[in-house]
Structure 1
Amino acid sequence: MTLIKSISGIRGTIGGNVGDNLTPIDAVKFAAAYGVWIKQQRNKDNHKVVVGRDARISGKMIQNLVMNTLIGLGIDVVDIGLSTTPTVEVAVPMEQADGGIILTASHNPKQWNALKLLNAKGEFLDGVEGAKILEIAEGNTINFADVDNLGRITKNKAYIDLHIIEVLDLPLVTVKPIEEARFKVVVDGVNSSGGVAIPLLLERLGVDVIKLYCEPNGHFPHNPEPLKEHLTDLSEAVKKHHADFGIVVDPDVDRLAFMDENGDMFGEEYTLVACADYVLSKTPGNTVSNMSSTRALRDITEKHGGSYEASAVGEVNVVKLMKENNVVIGGEGNGGIIYPESHYGRDALVGVALFLSLLAERKMTVSELRKTYPNYFMSKKKIELTPDLDVDAILKTIEVRYQHEQLTTIDGVKIDFPESWVHLRKSNTEPIIRIYTEAKSQNEADALADKFIEEIVDIAKA
């Protein structure tokens, strides 16, 4: 059982001991710290926070704890209920709220949940803000409101619909050509809120939708991370129904992956590549992704006359660099599309709409589209951390060993070789070291990852 405190929020497993897991007491503690921080940002009489959740089994419990803690601090709460991460992000500025909380552990299994924290712009907190909330949580500075000054909870269940309207109103989303294309699509909603939001969006676009695992009951039918090995049922359904393609999202709908008409993965890394190709063809400019994302985005960006830069891993880091570079589209290679024309957050609904617009324009199959992009292969592996493992020392040893290669050390260690790269870093959300590699073939990418796993193990034993 685990409790992880980071700039990504407060994430942990349900049950167990206080301080070691995401227990009710821990949920209250960190919600209270966030509420204190919210009140510190603006000196006014009334503060407001938007709260939503994915369909996890623990979601209602954690949401009620969080909302009642906030009203205990005198903060008004807008309860948007079952929702998606990007929907909460969109709702915060629409409500003119002071912040937002999403109760979701993203791609983690069902025993996990988390408080993901937003500022008044509906964007994730940065490292300084996150550190301040952790400091408040560990101190004795939380002062609750008296009985005459408690906050109030109001419910608004319209925000998924409002979010869809916002997506359909984007200038590059070509509703009529999509309707005329008469696509047939299978959607795997992993029995969470994506099973509600994505079909609703597709139906508004005239798409024939076949639902797979779209009952939002929190019982994930497979590992919720949208990777090839977890999606055999989607592959079979695409082939069985002769669909044009398949769509899969993670439980909170900020990651998006496609499957082609043959039941083969389009490639999670290529979600951003395809959406960027479409956006850059209409609005030339620059792009940003994180250091663990494919080189194909750089290639496509340069093809359209723009420049590409890589940030440290983490949505807040990607967004910061996007703003600095006045980027037209960016995101993360895990299927996260960040389109500033909409908002600065990963959004699978925006990604679906842009991808459909691209397909309607190009008039080609998904497999044909994939062949138009540079072919890179990635390996994504990990090593479980043990308490005695000194990760920083291990990474420093790797850095010294490869000092004559092209190194980037803003987030772990990334080594760029002429035809490949490897990125080694400690995860913000799980007790693991991630080993990501990319090369010109799958065998080369896997071999490179295995080589560095062996090196890490040898260094740890030394």
Structure 2
Amino acid sequence: MTLIKSISGIRGTIGGQPGEGLTPLDIVKFSAAFGSWAVKQSGKKKIIIGRDARISGEMVSGLVVNTLIGLGIDVIDLGLSTTPTVEMAVPAEDAAGGIILTASHNPIQWNALKLLNSKGEFISGDDGAEVLKIAESNDYKFAEVLSLGKLKTDDSYIDKHIDIILKLPLVDVGVVKERKFSVVVDAVNSTGGIAVPRLLKAMGVKVTELYCEPTGHFPHNPEPLPENLNHISSEMEKGKFDLGIVVDPDVDRLALIQEDGTPFGEEYTLVAVADYILSNNKGNTVSNMSSSMALRVVTEKHECTYTSSAVGEVNVVEEMKRTNAVIGGEGNGGIIYPELHYGRDALVGIALFLTHLAKFGKSCSRLRASYPNFHISKNKIELTPEVDVDKILVEIQKQYASKKISTIDGVKIEFDQEWVHLRKSNTEPIIRIYSESESEATAEHLAKKIISDIKEIITAKA
């Protein structure tokens, strides 16, 4: 069993001993800690919750709701919802914060409490540390009987979310309807199966639903990576479709499939949407340090400025605010469009991409071919617990001191047309190594070279 307590929330596998898995006792403790923190921070006694369709979701939801009520907090339960929908509901309801019950792309045995502040954005590192401190010290107090909170259910927010998206100035429903797109949707039997077809039908798109029943029984690994998308690729080969759309269980990541059944590329979801935004609204862009440099190339093509942030949505959002970016996100298919809200949102990504594709006037594969082609290689090296990972990263910096190096998040080394990014795991003795080049072979070679360097450093110190 696994339980991971981090600044962004609590995540774990269902069952086991308290403190070792995500058990009812752990859920209650962290719900009480967050609820107490949120009320203290905002002075408000209202929290929004929503969940994906995981089998454990109803059980986790019941525990969270009643813990918050026990603290004297009113709860608005959106029921089956999406992460971006809950994010939008928090400020709309003037709430103290929100809790999203989802383990995102993790397999069926996982669940999590994702924590939002009163702006509907993920809590900061400092705030997360405070919540963890409250949880570990049991520094919370439950309400007496006449001061218990109240529960209200509201399943209208997915429709509200969609309505707001359709009214965005750069979402052109008319031009999308004219194209008469035919689209296949794979929602891994979670809440994307509720939201995505509803959005597409409102835009005049013919929808073929694949795994859109929100049963929580994932038909394949729910992370929207190419190796997990064989089902939809096969489906697209059966008929004439313009596009395939894949979302993860909580609908904050968006992967696209071209009309020939091949992936558009998870890194290129953000690139394409940014290209469309910048064509209409010049401004800065942001992605994290492990995302493709294709975004920088496209941004500079529009004579705008690109910056990178540390990995993690909260870091991307912070950098977007600092630079007043008009579009940003992460290379895993996460679109953050501040015109709507500061959170990864597959629904707004779909609406903007379809508008872009409709105005482009050609096929999805032709649109993809219009962008620079880069390849990212993702690797890791597993180390023994006694190895000092920080010292290894310092040694790597010394070896490549003649290159441009960033230490904002691990170590990123930039070459002429390539880069390598090394990040240590916070939970395991692992260094993750991402590399990118115009050539797949070169990207792989760079990663292998860094792995070889690390092994030599370890040997020399032995």
Shared topology, TM-score over 0.5?
A: yes
Give the aligned partner of residue 361 of structure 1. Answer: 359
Match of 2:87 among 86, 89, 94: 89
Question: Distance between the aligned counterparts of 1:20 and 1:393, measured in 2?
Answer: 30
Match of 1:144 among 142, 145, 148: 142
Per the TM alignment, residue 42 of structure 1 is displaced from its structure 2 partner at its CA by 2.9
DSSP 3-state at the match of 2:141: coil
Per the TM alignment, residue 256 of structure 1 is displaced from its structure 2 partner at its CA by 0.5
Question: Distance between the aligned counterparts of 2:450 and 2:16, measured in 1?
Answer: 35
Asked if residue 113 in structure 1 is aligned to residue 111 in structure 2, the reply is yes
Identity %: 64
Change (3 A) 1:90 1:417: same
Question: Distance between the aligned counterparts of 2:384 and 2:108, measured in 1?
Answer: 23
- The aligned runs of 1:134-213 (5 Å cut-off) are 134-213=132-211
Per the TM alignment, residue 382 of structure 1 is displaced from its structure 2 partner at its CA by 3.2
- The aligned runs of 1:329-368 (5 Å cut-off) are 329-368=327-366
Change (3 A) 1:101 1:429: farther
1:11/1:429 contact within 8 Å kept = no
- The aligned runs of 1:66-77 (5 Å cut-off) are 66-77=64-75
- The aligned runs of 1:420-431 (5 Å cut-off) are 420-427=418-425
1:379/1:436 contact within 8 Å kept = yes
**AA aligned opposite 2:31:** A
Give the aligned partner of residue 25 of structure 1. Answer: 25
- The aligned runs of 1:374-393 (5 Å cut-off) are 374-383=372-381, 387-393=385-391
**AA aligned opposite 2:391:** A
Give the aligned partner of residue 253 of structure 1. Answer: 251
1:6/1:428 contact within 8 Å kept = no
Question: Distance between the aligned counterparts of 1:428 and 1:189, measured in 2?
Answer: 30
Asked if residue 55 in structure 1 is aligned to residue 53 in structure 2, the reply is yes
Change (3 A) 1:364 1:432: farther
Provide the aligned C-alpha RMSD in A.
1.6
DSSP 3-state at the match of 2:208: strand
DSSP 3-state at the match of 2:237: helix
Question: Distance between the aligned counterparts of 1:16 and 1:94, measured in 2?
Answer: 37
Alignment: residue pair count: 460
Question: Distance between the aligned counterparts of 1:389 and 1:48, measured in 2?
Answer: 46
Question: Distance between the aligned counterparts of 1:385 and 1:197, measured in 2?
Answer: 42
Per the TM alignment, residue 402 of structure 1 is displaced from its structure 2 partner at its CA by 2.0
**AA aligned opposite 2:377:** S
Give the aligned partner of residue 101 of structure 2. Answer: 103
Per the TM alignment, residue 457 of structure 1 is displaced from its structure 2 partner at its CA by 4.7
Change (3 A) 1:147 1:388: farther
Give the aligned partner of residue 36 of structure 1. Answer: 36
CA offset digits 1:385-442 (Å, max 9, x no partner):
7654543233233223222221111111111111211111134688854221111111
Question: Distance between the aligned counterparts of 1:115 and 1:39, measured in 2?
Answer: 17
Gaps of 5+ in 1: none
2:33/2:138 contact within 8 Å kept = no
Give the aligned partner of residue 15 of structure 1. Answer: 15
Q: If the length of structure 1 is used for normalisation, what is the TM-score?
A: 0.96
Give the aligned partner of residue 302 of structure 2. Answer: 304
CA offset digits 1:130-157 (Å, max 9, x no partner):
1110111111321111111111111001
Give the aligned partner of residue 321 of structure 2. Answer: 323
Question: Distance between the aligned counterparts of 2:41 and 2:86, measured in 1?
Answer: 20
Moved more, 402-411 or 430-439: 430-439
Per the TM alignment, residue 242 of structure 1 is displaced from its structure 2 partner at its CA by 1.6
1:39/1:47 contact within 8 Å kept = yes
DSSP 3-state at the match of 1:414: strand
2:392/2:457 contact within 8 Å kept = yes
Moved more, 439-448 or 300-309: 439-448
DSSP 3-state at the match of 1:437: strand
Question: Distance between the aligned counterparts of 2:334 and 2:4, measured in 1?
Answer: 22
Moved more, 387-396 or 9-18: 387-396
Per the TM alignment, residue 67 of structure 1 is displaced from its structure 2 partner at its CA by 1.0
- The aligned runs of 1:230-309 (5 Å cut-off) are 230-309=228-307
Question: Distance between the aligned counterparts of 1:417 and 1:201, measured in 2?
Answer: 42
2:108/2:216 contact within 8 Å kept = yes
2:248/2:254 contact within 8 Å kept = yes
Give the aligned partner of residue 226 of structure 2. Answer: 228
Change (3 A) 1:369 1:41: same
Give the aligned partner of residue 122 of structure 1. Answer: 120
DSSP 3-state at the match of 2:200: helix
Question: Distance between the aligned counterparts of 1:430 and 1:230, measured in 2?
Answer: 25
Question: Distance between the aligned counterparts of 1:187 and 1:266, measured in 2?
Answer: 14
1:8/1:428 contact within 8 Å kept = no
Change (3 A) 1:284 1:117: same
Gaps of 5+ in 2: none
CA offset digits 1:166-191 (Å, max 9, x no partner):
11111100001101110001111011
Per the TM alignment, residue 24 of structure 1 is displaced from its structure 2 partner at its CA by 1.1
Question: Distance between the aligned counterparts of 1:51 and 1:163, measured in 2?
Answer: 15
Give the aligned partner of residue 411 of structure 1. Answer: 409
Question: Distance between the aligned counterparts of 2:387 and 2:13, measured in 1?
Answer: 22
**AA aligned opposite 2:107:** P
DSSP 3-state at the match of 1:240: coil
**AA aligned opposite 2:332:** N
Question: Distance between the aligned counterparts of 1:65 and 1:389, measured in 2?
Answer: 40
Per the TM alignment, residue 318 of structure 1 is displaced from its structure 2 partner at its CA by 0.5
Per the TM alignment, residue 314 of structure 1 is displaced from its structure 2 partner at its CA by 0.6
